[in-house]
Amino acid sequence: MWKLNWEALGIDWGKVAEVLTYDSHQPMIFNSGLFLFLFLGFSLVYVLLQRKTTARLLFVTMFSYYFYYKSSGVYFYLLGIVTVSDFLLARRMEETDTPWKRKLLVVASLCINLGLLCYFKYTNFFYEMLAPLWNGTFRPLDIFLPVGISFFTFQSLSYTLDVYRKDLKPLDSLLDYAFYVSFFPQLVAGPIVRARDFVPQIRRPLSVSSEMFGRGLFFIVSGLFKKAVISDYISVNFVERIFDNPGLYSGLENLFGIYGYALQIYCDFSGYSDMAIGLALLLGFHFPLNFNSPYKAESVTDFWHRWHISLSTWLRDYLYISLGGNRKGKARTYINLMLTMLLGGLWHGASWNFIVWGGLHGAALALHKFFRNLTGRPKTYHSTGIRRIFAVVLTFHFVCFCWIFFRNATFDASVVMIRQIFTAFHPELFVQLVTGYWQVFALMALGFVLHWCPDSWQNACSRGMTRLPLVAQAMVLIALVYLVIQVKSSDIQPFIYFQF
């Protein structure tokens, strides 16, 4: 009998097993070669299962769990705990009309989801705060933070809360719910997709039009360019150096480091969101837009209508409105805004820096609402001309100031950076700085120009990609991959929001 000689083919199965198992130093992300290779095989099976809905959902769910295993190792079981518990709690909620029982069930869902989130994310933070009470020495506990736990717990919570409010009927199939919670394009860094938007698409006949395919490819290409070309390059070659030792650099260098980080985090996170939206389109699913040119915002309120839209609307619908929103008087409205943003800051990480960041945004939102009420301007009001330019510039610099606290590991480092800007600016170093980092500044200029260009330009590029023949679309993708290879650092840079 003919027998295939694997050794003759030069296949090292030990190496293959090493690549396919979890590596804490190399989590699987969209711009890695391993993901691209696996996605090709995944796509082939996905197409073959086009008309077998249940088998396709099961296959995608299994791949999603493997994807999460490659990101967080054995902690993929947390995803299963959240999925099964919320599915059963939502079903039980539907079966009872007793108000106190429904409330007890939704509290159980909150305790499970927020309990997991608090343990893995905030145990050391609160332990450090409370240690002085018993004169104890703080030694951080060795607690691993599973990638994306903030995203899938919030996504699952939105389902149980919607069922509790009777805005949504619970699913009958555990497989459908597992598919919704674990769908790999948005699993580890969003966008946070609502069940009411996604569930109706699950068992719809699979259909990917040429327009969906073209738009999906455009989102993937633009997201990959933002992340792997602009964000990673300016981060490794400039931004990290400034933030690692702000006291060693002049105020001018610190200022441009902040501008660089503002572009880096936007390109990093919106790049991931774009790739997630693009991958979902290729698989026949629609995700909501998560970023809408946030640095074009003319106020902090407008900024939060454009930045991480899925999180800001989640906080509005399930936290701000639950606290009373604007229904209990002006003073209570401002307090609710502050509480929402303080908790939003804490959602990003267990650090006083994040709380300060959230508090600054909360205060700015309250102040903007106060002046809007004072002047009697409607919510739909938009300034024009020079006033709009001034408002955009002012909002951008306020957001950049807040990024100082968001990015720095300690509050002291943030103070040092601000002090350098106001006491040791040294504008005479500008020419030397630009010539020394001309590649970084060229990419920063390109990034901001693309960001501030009219929306019609992006829409035209998307339409152009859709109209290209398949061969031309493939050539565009190959050209971008080649560009990424030329500019990338030695190690693949993980997405910033993996840590949240």
Residue 14 CA to residue 377 CA, distance in Å, equals 67
- Among candidate residues 173, 153, 157, the one with its CA nearest the CA of residue 165: 157
Cβ-proximal residues to 22 (8 Å cutoff; 6+ apart), any chain: 69, 70, 72, 73, 74
In degrees and rounded to multiples of 5, residue 425 shows phi and psi of -70, -50
Pairwise CA distance, residues 339 & 363, whole Å: 10
Please give the backbone phi and psi of residue 453, each rounded to the nearest 5 degrees, phi first: -70, 160
The whole-angstrom separation of Cα 135 and Cα 10 is 61
Which candidate, 87, 274, 280, 314, places its Cα nearest to that of 201?
280
CA distance 366 to 388: 20
Q: How many CB atoms lie within 10 A of CB 354?
A: 20
Tell me the CA distances in angstroms from 72 to 112, 146, 198, 371, one per residue in order.
19, 5, 25, 46
The contacts of residue 422 (CB under 8 Å, 6+ apart) are 251
CB atoms within 10 A of CB 18: 10
Active-site amino acid positions: 348
